[in-house]
Structure 1
Amino acid sequence: MLSPEEKARYSRHLIIPGVGMEGQIRLKNASVLLIGTGGLGSPAALYLAAAGVGRLGLIDPDTVDVSNLQRQLLHTDSAVGKSKLDSAAARLRETNPHIELVLHPVRFTPENALSIANGYDIILDGSDNFPTRFLANDTAFFLKKPLVYGAIHRFDGQMTVFAPHLGSPCYRCLLPESPAPGAVPSCNEAGVLGVLPGIIGSLQAMEAIKLILGAGEPPLGNILIYDALKTTFRSLRLPHDPSCRLCGSAPTITSVSNAETNASASCAVTDPNMKAITASELKDMLAADDFNALLIDVREPEEYDVINIPQAKLVPLQTIPTYAKNLPKDTRIILHCKAGMRSAKACEYLSSLGFTDVTNVTGGMDAFQRL
Structure 2
Amino acid sequence: MSRFDRQEILPGFGKEGQQKLRNSSVLVIGAGGLGCPILLYLAAAGVGKIGLADGDTVALSNLNRQVLFGVGDLGKNKAETAVRYFQHKYDDIQWEIIPEFFSVENAQEIISGYDLVVDGTDNFPTRYLVNDACVLMEKPLVFGAIYQHEGQVSVFNLGPNSANYRDLYPKMPAASEIPNCADTGVLGVLPGIIGNLMALEAIKVLSGFCKPLKNKVLFFNSLTAQTYEVELVPSAETREAMPRSLASFEIMDYELACEGIKQLTWSEAMRKMNSDVAFVDVREPGEMPPLECTGLIKIPLSNLSAQLDRLEESEEVLFFCQSGIRSQQAAQQLQQTYPDKKIYSIRGGINALKT
* TM-score, with structure 2 as normaliser: 0.76
Superposition deviation, residue 32 in structure 1: 0.5
**Closer, same or farther in 2 for the Cα pair 1:261/1:124, shift >3 Å?**
farther
Who is 2:58 aligned against?
Answer: 64
Who is 1:253 aligned against?
Answer: 244
Aligned: 1:25 with 2:16:
no
Contact 2:261 2:331 in 1 (8 A): no
Superposition deviation, residue 269 in structure 1: 4.8
Aligned partner of residue 264 in structure 1, secondary structure: helix
- CA–CA distance in structure 1, aligned partners of residues 9 and 260 of structure 2: 51
Contact 2:104 2:250 in 1 (8 A): no
**Closer, same or farther in 2 for the Cα pair 1:177/1:188, shift >3 Å?**
same
**Closer, same or farther in 2 for the Cα pair 1:328/1:151, shift >3 Å?**
closer
Higher Cα Rg, which structure: 1
Superposition deviation, residue 168 in structure 1: 1.5
Aligned: 1:75 with 2:69:
yes
Q: Which runs of 5+ in 1 are unaligned?
A: 1-6, 280-295, 355-359
Aligned: 1:117 with 2:111:
yes
Contact 1:123 1:148 in 2 (8 A): yes
Aligned pairs (5 A) from 1:1-371? 7-163=1-157, 165-180=159-174, 182-246=176-240, 253-255=244-246, 257-258=248-249, 262-264=253-255, 269=261, 277-279=279-281, 338-339=322-323, 341-342=325-326, 345=329, 366=350
- CA–CA distance in structure 1, aligned partners of residues 330 and 134 of structure 2: 37
Q: Deviations over 1:28-48 (max 9, x none)?
A: 111111011111111001100
Q: Which runs of 5+ in 2 are unaligned?
A: 264-276, 291-297, 312-318, 339-343
Question: May I ask how many residue pairs the two structures share in their alignment?
Answer: 323
Q: Deviations over 1:173-223 (max 9, x none)?
A: 122242135222233333322111111111110001111121111111110
**Closer, same or farther in 2 for the Cα pair 1:256/1:54, shift >3 Å?**
farther
Aligned partner of residue 108 in structure 2, secondary structure: helix
**Closer, same or farther in 2 for the Cα pair 1:149/1:336, shift >3 Å?**
closer
Identity %: 37
- CA–CA distance in structure 1, aligned partners of residues 102 and 88 of structure 2: 26
Aligned partner of residue 203 in structure 2, secondary structure: helix
Superposition deviation, residue 267 in structure 1: 5.9
**Closer, same or farther in 2 for the Cα pair 1:336/1:56, shift >3 Å?**
closer
Aligned partner of residue 17 in structure 2, secondary structure: helix
Bigger shift: residues 255-264 or 31-40: 255-264
The aligned amino acid for 2:280 is T
